[in-house]
Amino acid sequence: MCNSRALVALALLLHSVVALVSAQGSSKWKTLSGDPPKVVARGGFSGLFPGYSSAAFSFALITSVQDAVLWCDVQLTKDGAGICFPDLLLNNNSNIDMALPKRDKSYLVNGVSTKGWFTVDFTFDDLASVYVTQGIYSRTNRFDGNQYPILLIEDVAMQFKPPGLWLNIQHDIFFSQHNLSMRKYVISVSKQVVINYISSPEVAFLNSIKARVSPSATKLVFRFLGQAETEPSTNQTYGSLLKNLTFIKTFASGILIPKTYIWPFTKDNYIEPHTSVVTDAHKEGLTVFASDFVNDFPLAYNYSYDPVSEYLQFIDNGDFSVDGVLSDFPITPSEAINCFAHLGSNASGQAKPLVISKYGASGDFPSCTNLAYEKAIADGVDVLDCPVQISQDGIPFCASSINLIDITEVTQSPFNSLTTVVPEIKAGGGIFTFSLAWKDIEGLTPTISNPWSKNMLFRNPMSKTGGKYLTLSDFLALAKRSSSLSGVLIDIEYAAYLAEKQKLSITDAVMNTLSKAGFDNQTALDVNIQSANSSVLMKFKEKTSYELVYKIEEEIGDAPSSTIEDIKKFADSVVIKKASIFPEVEAFTTGVTDVVSKLQAAKLPVYVELFSNEFVSQAWDFFSDPTVEINSFVSGANIDGVITDFPKTAARYKKNRCLSKKVIPNYMSPIRPASLIQVVTSAYLPPAEAPNPTLRESDVIEPPLPSVNAQAPAPTGGSSVGASPKPSGQPRIAACFFLSYLAMAIAALFVF
């Protein structure tokens, strides 16, 4: 059963948490009451911990707004006890099949034969050996070993004392068929504890209790299911009932509807124009709560995998605001409501972090195309990047890979026979930029990157082949036209190979193009030259005064002072991987290094990559929320810049009003690394991994670039073209880390 020390620590934690700040700003909310929308936590923080568990409820209160509401689906046991559990069937969210084997049965549920372990077949005492588990199998099950018990409704109310408690009654008719009265139970329990909301998808049930509850204390909410489904007591579809809100008002003060009732999706997963349901309901005096909000399921492509953007669409769209949201990840709507709503287009932001694009806004458009760059600028990026490749005729241009197969439909072009094997670049064949003239490359069709396709997460398919590639000259002209950029970043790799084997000097091509574009003398935009090769940066140091950025591609665990001193000989700043700060194992952070502080002590700013929005790119510690991850690295690890393929998320973070508060609310506090993994019991711990290696001087120092013996064709403006050794390619791990005092609390909570 649940560890008693854990519960004691939890209780202490709840009393010691710093008071959360209710950030109701001066902006007028378009809710029915004019107050901020409510955050309703479905089963607590069920996106991480087993839903409806003590840990899930506690963590929801810790990480949410001050007036968060805990949601319980009420089920009745054989002896009439009301338990907080997501379904009539116990087998999907508990260990009952192991604790009480061979006791499954079949019953009709709304006319459908259903088999499993039903609550009505067990007394509450029977369930003493049953514990709740993570019922959504795409989420981590590593907290199941804590054996959280099934909780009574009274336990949830009295142990956690939530600011609000919401009871959802889903199957009143089924319980009546088994001689159990949900009406009597609800009336009885409401005399013992405060019930703020009661919802049901059954009209008859709400009508049966409306005279027995105080409308000022308990709000009755009619829950809409799928529009084609039939409401059992009226025999009408929920879609038809939606057209008669005047009738709903006779027995309820609000409605709870799936979010697609408000913003429908196309079959291609893009949102359509919003319906009038919220404004229609508000005209009838009905509050509107929206359901089905989760961070770890593909969102409509319009939101670029950013859950905060989705919430803002429902609460801050200029036309209306829902009155509350039902979420498995209550930290995210808490941020959206109190930190990001009503910012306005002219909201000022803090200086840090510097937002650096990764191939433009390549999360939304094919990388390094004009569309990706224009979107990055519009989204508020500070530094626009161009990874430079070079064509056979010596034209430098922006592309995310030297292998055209990775980024274009070249295999479907007349050039598909140009496949060659270059072991210095990659194993296997490729069609490389130096094999085609620029006029042939610019005619190729770009393709969007899908780094998480194995998880069935795809990026903006409507624009998957949109845009065109730019020469370095065109890229610089685009950057100059932007008034919002602070700089450009030019990334150079494979310079040594290109010089030695292809007689192309990419370094000279870049220098000549920058000079011709006037960047030798202009001061409006900073020019940053980035490379994983010290030889490239040494050459630029000898011939230019640009800022030099050293990219450490290895995931490192330490950087001795002697190595840092060597880096300072050729670099002004450093790029490192997220895992070099917060190493992780199987998507749990395991600690924190001092790499950032050591580099910054040597006056080397630290930029970190790669920050993406897709939830699978983040450790469990970040709650499938890219804003939590960014905040943890910026506020927790004090990094100087984020490198991201979704610059809008990072740029919005800088405008976050919560960062200017005297007391930072918990939902905008950095996580504490390794806190979650401390909550995992020993039997569920992932296997330990070796620590990341130390960065040595031998990893950094390289011989000078080889000279180009034969003069290659000059790029625009004329230049000899050059090369660089292959990057020190190392594995990349998406890192993450935790709300500082929150995580300490959760860790303390489950010490055994």
DSSP conformation class of 445: P
User: Is the pLDDT assigned to residue 425 strictly greater than 50?
Assistant: yes
Please state the rounded mean pLDDT for residues 439-447: 97
Give pLDDT, residue 435. Answer: 96
User: Is the entire prediction scored with pTM above 0.85?
Assistant: yes
The three-state secondary structure class of 103 is: coil
User: Is the pLDDT assigned to residue 728 strictly greater than 90?
Assistant: no
Residues with Cβ within 8 Å of 31's Cβ and at least 6 positions away in sequence, in order, are 37, 287, 321, 322, 323
Classified by CATH at the fold level, domain 354-400+460-686 comes out as TIM Barrel (3.20.20)
The three-state secondary structure class of 211 is: helix
User: Is the pLDDT assigned to residue 717 strictly greater than 60?
Assistant: no
Domain residue spans of the chain = 38-340, 354-400+460-686
Give pLDDT, residue 344. Answer: 78
Indicate if 354-400+460-686 has the same CATH topology as 38-340. Answer: yes
Closest to 42 (Cα-Cα) out of 335, 289, 310 = 289
3-state helix, strand, coil in the chain (%, to 5): 35, 20, 50
Give pLDDT, residue 592. Answer: 96
Structure confidence by residue, pLDDT tens digits, 448-479: 999 999 999 999 999 999 999 999 999 999 99
85 φ, ψ to 5°? -155, 145
Structure confidence by residue, pLDDT tens digits, 271-295: 999 999 999 999 999 999 999 999 9
Structure confidence by residue, pLDDT tens digits, 324-354: 999 999 999 999 999 999 997 777 777 789 9
- Determine the length of the chain: 752
Structure confidence by residue, pLDDT tens digits, 99-132: 999 999 999 998 899 999 999 999 999 999 999 9
Residue-wise burial string across 149-179, b where 16 or more C-beta atoms lie within 10 A, e elsewhere = bbbbbebbbebbebbbbbbbbbbbebbeeee
User: Is the pLDDT assigned to residue 25 strictly greater than 80?
Assistant: no
Give pLDDT, residue 352. Answer: 85
Classified by CATH at the fold level, domain 38-340 comes out as TIM Barrel (3.20.20)
Structure confidence by residue, pLDDT tens digits, 367-423: 999 999 999 999 999 999 999 999 999 999 999 999 999 999 999 999 999 999 999
Give whichever of 24-38, 114-128, 657-671 has the largest mean pLDDT: 114-128
The lowest-confidence range among 34-48, 221-235, 657-671, 710-724 is 710-724
